[in-house]
């Protein structure tokens, strides 16, 4: 197996472990939604996982990963949501400055 792919798979495994650590034993959506630090940490790890899956598939398109398109799609939605949010925020700040 290519060394880059091994590294990306190790990144994915580490992110999954971190997500489980962040969530702990209590895994209900209301607690998650109200815990901003946990939410941001989980989202960041999902971004990293999606990026790693995308890089693996670019390196080796036939590499078999379950739900690869869904994983990449989740990463893209998180990233695009943040970009839209930041654009709106900066737009509001710009209007306030003027």
Spatial distance between the Cα atoms of 17 and 15, rounded to a whole number of angstroms = 5
Whole-number pLDDT of residue 86: 67
pTM for the complete prediction? Answer: 0.78
Whole-number pLDDT of residue 98: 64
Tokens representing 20? Answer: 């489980």
Spatial distance between the Cα atoms of 56 and 63, rounded to a whole number of angstroms = 7
- Domain residues for the domain of 18 are 3-97
**What digits encode the pLDDT tens for the residues 12-45?**
999 999 999 999 887 888 888 889 899 899 999 9
Spatial distance between the Cα atoms of 56 and 48, rounded to a whole number of angstroms = 12
Total tally of structural domains belonging to the chain: 1
Phi, psi for 20 (deg, rounded to 5): -60, -40
């Amino acid at each position: 197996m290519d060394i880059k792919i091994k590294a990306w798979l190790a990144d994915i495994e580490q992110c999954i472990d971190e997500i489980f650590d962040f969530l702990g034993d209590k895994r209900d959506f209301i607690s998650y939604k109200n815990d901003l630090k946990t939410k941001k940490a989980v989202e960041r790890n999902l971004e990293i996982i999606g990026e790693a899956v995308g890089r693996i598939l670019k390196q080796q398109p036939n590499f078999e990963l379950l739900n690869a398109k869904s994983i990449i799609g989740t990463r893209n939605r998180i990233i695009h949501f943040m970009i839209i949010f930041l654009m709106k925020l900066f737009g509001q700040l710009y209007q306030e400055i003027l």
